Amino acid sequence: MTELLRRYPVQLNSYCKALSGRSSAVAKLYLPDLRELENPGLEADGLAELEQSPVPNLIRRYRDRAVLLTTSECFVRCRFCFRKRLWADGAARFSLSDENLDQVCEWLDRNREVDDILLSGGDPLVLNDDRVVHLATRIRAAGNVRTVRICSRAPAVEPRRITEQLTERLSVIDGLWFVTHFNHPDELTPESEAALKRLVSHGIPVLNQSVLLKGVNDDAETLRRLFKGLSALRVKPHYLFHIDPVEGVSHFATGVEKGLAILEDFRYTLSSLATPAFAIDLPRGAGKVVLVPDCAGKNGYRSSVTGEYVDHPLARTGGGQRR
Ligand SMILES: *Cc1c(COP(=O)(O)O)cnc(C)c1O
């Protein structure tokens, strides 16, 4: 256990500590597990983020969008974190410097096909209001950037961080989206719901990303409750991710079949508003792949009402084979 805590220290705030006391599922997100030291063939940077970095702290994998690491710090450390490399073994803490920000903006001026930037980390909202607003405003004004996504767990883990004042300042930044991260319906508390409502009521669109975690949320009923709860708050469940191929998280792996079975259940039981895309991020920076239950057969398409194959008279218009 000493080795585990040295490698991946526990960091829990009072809000998440209290929540962990009330919910054993939430506790698994933050409490150490010896299996984190088992790493069958996995790398710390299994997604090759460092190789795909044209400027320090900018990760560019896709043609039109990129991720900016604004800080290494978070409110809490999630045991399933896919960037454990940023905080393993006492790694150096950082937050984006002004010089680094200048470099990123210059790079954006030269790479005008990139028009969508994700501010991530770490959690950008550990930075103070002035810094968050400055980063988002400068990035939005750089190059050809049209959308900025603030990717933060604050609504789920430190809901009081989403103040009226911060929300107002973010709401006037053009093209700004908020991407949050809830994994379990027990995280929907009066406080976290109020934080989400503040964002939405100021006109900021909010998306949610979840990670499918073995023993935490890997059943359709739990996730249905979460996704219905979020969509009722006007937060769109965007992605459900399979665990990433990085060191220190493999005991949370469910396998892809589990995610597909849950999506298959959702075909019959959950509105499209509340249903996220299920995706895996491939090793070596090969990118995200959305996986869907296979509904096309040689006798047509599998009904989302009865499960029977039903043909569609115009589906093969255009001369293609039935697929
Ligand atoms: C996930 C990700 C994005 C955003 O991808 P979307 O599918 O548009 O949400 C961009 N860059 C990197 C490196 C990513 O991992």
Region label for 287, one of left (φ > 0), alpha (ψ between -120 and 50) or beta (otherwise): left
**Ligand 1 pocket mutation pick from 288, 290, 291 by most atoms within 8 angstroms of CB:** 288
**For residues 179-183, average pLDDT:** 98
Q: What is the pLDDT, as a whole number, of residue 320?
A: 57
Q: What is the pLDDT, as a whole number, of residue 317?
A: 86
Atom of ligand 1 nearest to the CA of 285: 13
Grade residue 41 by pLDDT with cuts at 50, 70 and 90. Answer: confident
**For residues 78-107, average pLDDT:** 96
Q: What is the pLDDT, as a whole number, of residue 228?
A: 98
Q: What is the pLDDT, as a whole number, of residue 39?
A: 82
Atom of ligand 1 nearest to the CA of 49: 13
Q: pLDDT tens digits, residue range 121-135?
A: 999 999 999 999 999
**For residue 105, what are its two tokens?**
């903006």
User: How far does Cα 129 stand from its chain's mean position?
Assistant: 22
Atom of ligand 1 nearest to the CA of 279: 7
Q: What is the pLDDT, as a whole number, of residue 244?
A: 95
- Peptide bond just before 122 cis, omega within 30 deg: yes
Q: pLDDT tens digits, residue range 132-153?
A: 999 999 999 999 999 999 999 9
Q: DSSP secondary-structure letter at 311?
A: -
**For residues 168-172, average pLDDT:** 98
* pLDDT surpassing 80 at residue 323: no
Residues carrying an active site annotation: 61-62, 65, 74, 78, 81, 83, 244, 281, 288
Pocket of ligand 1 (CB under 6 A): 59, 61-62, 65-67, 118, 288
**Max CA separation in the chain (angstroms):** 65
Q: What is the pLDDT, as a whole number, of residue 28?
A: 98
Average pLDDT, whole number, for the chain? 96
* pLDDT surpassing 80 at residue 275: yes
**For residues 1-6, average pLDDT:** 93
User: How far does Cα 39 stand from its chain's mean position?
Assistant: 23
DSSP assignments along 88-113, one per residue: GGGPPP-B--HHHHHHHHHHHHH-TT
Count of residues making up the chain: 323
Q: Is residue 65 within a helix (H) or strand (E), and if so which, with residue range?
A: strand 65-69
Q: What is the pLDDT, as a whole number, of residue 268?
A: 98
Ligand 1 centroid to Cα of residue 9, in Å, is 27
Q: What is the pLDDT, as a whole number, of residue 321?
A: 58
Residue scoring higher pLDDT (319 or 12): 12
Q: Whose CA is nearest to atom 7 of ligand 1?
A: 288
Q: pLDDT tens digits, residue range 216-254?
A: 999 999 999 999 999 999 999 999 999 999 999 999 999
